[in-house]
Amino acid sequence: MTKYQSITGTRDVLPEEQPYWRFIEKKIYEITSLFGYQRVDPPIFEETRLFIRSVGETTDIVEKEMYTFVDKGDTSLTLRPEFTAGFIRLYLQNGMHMLPKPVKLFSMGPIFRFERPQAGRFRQHTQFNVEAFGEQDSAMDVEVMSIAWQLYAELGFRGLRFQLNSTGCPQCRPAYIETLKAYYHTRLQEICSDCKRRLDRNALRLLDCKSPGCQPVIAAAPVISQHLCSSCDDHFHHLTGYLDRLGRPYEINHKLVRGLDYYSKTVFEVWVQGIGSQNAMCGGGRYDGLIEQLGGEPTPGIGFGSGIERIILSMKEQGLQPEPLPEPRVLVIYFGAKAKARAMDLVFTLRNEKIPALMSFGEKSFKAQMRDANRMHAACVLILGDSEVEQGVISIKDLRQGEQIQVTEAEMVNRVKNLIR
C-alpha cells in the first residue's frame, strides 16, 4: 500500500484515458471556432464574495459546497465552483464590455465543489464552458445550445434531446413564485420536510423534489410557462420555433429549474444515458440580470457548462471510441557500446525528420529489445549490431511483414518513412 493517496472526489487521468480528452478538446476547438467563440482562462480562484453574489446565497453551492479558505493576506478566496462568475468578472475588468456585442467566449478547466462523489460526480471535475454576453435575441440562445449539441453529435452521440424551460424574469417570476407558494400552502400536509424548508428559501426548487410523496403535488402545481410576461413568453416561443426549424428534439420540462439563482428566461440541459444516476451532460441558461448585478451595465448573457468527465463516462458506456493518439513508430535497438553510440545518432536523426522514434536503454538482450518494439506497436525496428557496425549499414525489420533489409545510412530515412505509413 502506498502511503499517499489522491483526495476524495479527485481522480488521476492515466494515459489510457488521454485519447478521450484529446479528442474532446479537438472537437471543442473546432466547434467553438466554427461558431466564432474565443478562449479565455480566468484564474481557478476568485474572491469568495464574487461567487456568493453571483451564484446566490441560499444555493447549495454557496451554502455547503464551496472550497473556501483565507489566504495569508486575510482575503477569503474560493476555488471556482462554476465558470460564469469568473467570466463576467473577466469581461468587466478587461473592458470587454466595450467590444462589439455579442462577446462570445469559452473556456475549459477544473471546477471544485465539495460534494459526495458518485458515478459522474466529483469534487474536482472539468468543465467546458461557453458564454455569450450582450445579446437578448433568442437566436443567441439557439446558437449557444447548438454548440453543445454539435459537440455531442460529433463525438458520436445519438438520441440526444434538450430539456427546456423558461424561468421567467424579474417582471413575471415574483408573481409566479407567489402563486406557487400560495398553492403549496394549500397542500402543506402532503409535502416532505425538505420542501417545507424550500418553500421559504428557494420556492422554485420545490418543483424538482424527488420525494415520492411530493410528486402528486408537483404534478398539479401551477406551471411557469403559463405565468410568463409577454416578453418572456415571446422569447420562449421564438426559441422553440427556431429549434423546431432546426429539427432539434426538445422536451419542455416545467420542473427544470437550475440550482443557481441567476438564471432568467431560458434554462436547458442535454440529457444522455450512462453517467450513473446523473442525466445532464450539460446545463445552462440565460442570466440577463447578472452582469448588472456584478457591477456592469445592464447586459444580457447566456451560457452553459458541460462536464468532460461525464462526457467520457457516457462515451465509454455507449462504446464511442476517440481517435487514437499517435504512437512511436520506430525502435532503434543495438548490441554493444559502439552500436549504442550510433543508435543515439540514428534516433535523433529520425526525430529531426519528425519520425516518432525511441531507442533501447541499458544492456537488454536482443529478445527483450524486440519484445519492447512489439509492445509499443512499432512499425519497424532499426538494428545495429556488430555486423552492421562493421559493414557500415543498418538493418531495418518491418515488424508487420516480418521482412528485414539492410540499407545505408543515407537510404535509411526514406525507407523508414515508407514503412511507418
* Shortest Cβ 72–RNA spacing (Å): 27
| CB hemisphere CA count around 384 (13 angstroms) | 23
Q: Does 358 bind RNA (CB under 7 A)?
A: no
Based on CB atoms, which residue is closest to RNA, 228 or 383?
Answer: 383
3-state SS, residue 159:
coil
Residue 83's identity, in one-letter code, is F
In degrees and rounded to multiples of 5, residue 354 shows phi and psi of: 65, 30
Site string for RNA, 82-101 (x = CB under 7 A): x-------------------
Give the dihedral sign, CA 387/389/391/393: positive
# residues contacting RNA (CB under 7 A): 71
Residue 93 contacts by C-beta under 8 Å, 6 or more apart in sequence?
Answer: none
Long-range pairs, 385-392, Cβ under 8 A, ≥24: 385/334, 385/335, 385/336, 385/339, 386/335, 386/336, 386/339, 388/339, 389/336, 389/338, 389/339, 389/342
Smallest distance, Å, CB 305 to RNA? 4
Q: What is the DSSP string of 44-60?
A: SEEEHHHHHHHH-TTSH
* Contact residue for RNA among 3, 158, 185, 210 (CB under 7 A): 210
* 80 contributes a contact to RNA by CB under 7 A: no
When asked if residue 211 is in the footprint of RNA (CB under 7 A), the reply is yes
Yes or no: say if 278 and 121 are a contact pair by the CB < 8 Å rule: yes
Cell numbers standing for residue 190: 402532503
- Smallest separation (angstroms) from RNA to the CB of 403: 8
Sites for RNA among residues 107-136 (CB under 7 A): 111, 113, 115-123, 125, 127
Give the nearer residue to RNA in terms of CB position, either 319 or 402.
402
Alpha-carbon distance of 165 to 263, in angstroms, equals 11
Smallest gap from residue 78 Cβ to RNA (A): 15
Answer yes or no whether residue 382 interacts with RNA by CB under 7 A. Answer: no
- Choosing from 139, 182, 368, 405, the residue that interacts with RNA (CB under 7 A) is 368
- What's the 3-state SS for 374-409? HHCCCCEEEEECHHHHHHCCEEEEECCCCCEEEECH
Q: Is 164 in the site for RNA (CB under 7 A)?
A: no
Binding residue for RNA, selected from 131, 141, 143, 309, defined by CB under 7 A: 309
- In sign, the C-alpha dihedral spanning 110, 111, 112, 115 is negative
Q: Interface with RNA includes 337 (CB under 7 A)? A: no
Nearest approach in angstroms of CB 168 to RNA is 17
Q: How far is the CB of 73 from RNA (least distance, A)?
A: 29
Q: Is the Cβ of residue 7 or residue 98 nearer to RNA in the bound state?
A: 7
> How near is the Cβ of 218 to RNA at its closest, in Å?
12
**Minimum gap (Å) between residue 166 Cβ and RNA:** 16
CA distance 356 to 102: 44
Element spanning 264, H or E: strand 264-275
Identity of residue 61: I
Shorter beta-carbon distance to RNA: residue 14 or 98: 14
Omega prior to 102 cis, within 30 of 0: yes
**Positions in 221-280 near RNA (CB under 7 A):** 258-260, 269, 276-280
In the complex, the smallest distance separating the C-beta of residue 256 from RNA, rounded to whole angstroms, is: 10
Q: Which of residues 287-306 bind RNA (CB under 7 A)?
A: 305-306
219 binds RNA (CB under 7 A): no
When asked if residue 329 is in the footprint of RNA (CB under 7 A), the reply is no
Binders of RNA among residues 168 to 207 (CB under 7 A) are: 194, 205
Determine which residue in the list 4, 6, 158, 326 makes contact with RNA, applying CB under 7 A: 6
User: Among residue numbers 40 through 79, which ones bind RNA (CB under 7 A)?
Assistant: 59-61, 65
CA gap 327, 100 in Å, rounded: 44
Chain Cα centroid distance, residue 375: 32
Stretch that binds RNA, among 3-11, 20-28, 99-107, 342-350 (CB under 7 A): 3-11
CA 280/CA 272 separation, integer angstroms: 7
To RNA, the closest distance from the beta carbon of 5 in angstroms equals 6
Looking at 80, 104, 342, 397, which residue binds RNA (CB under 7 A)? 397
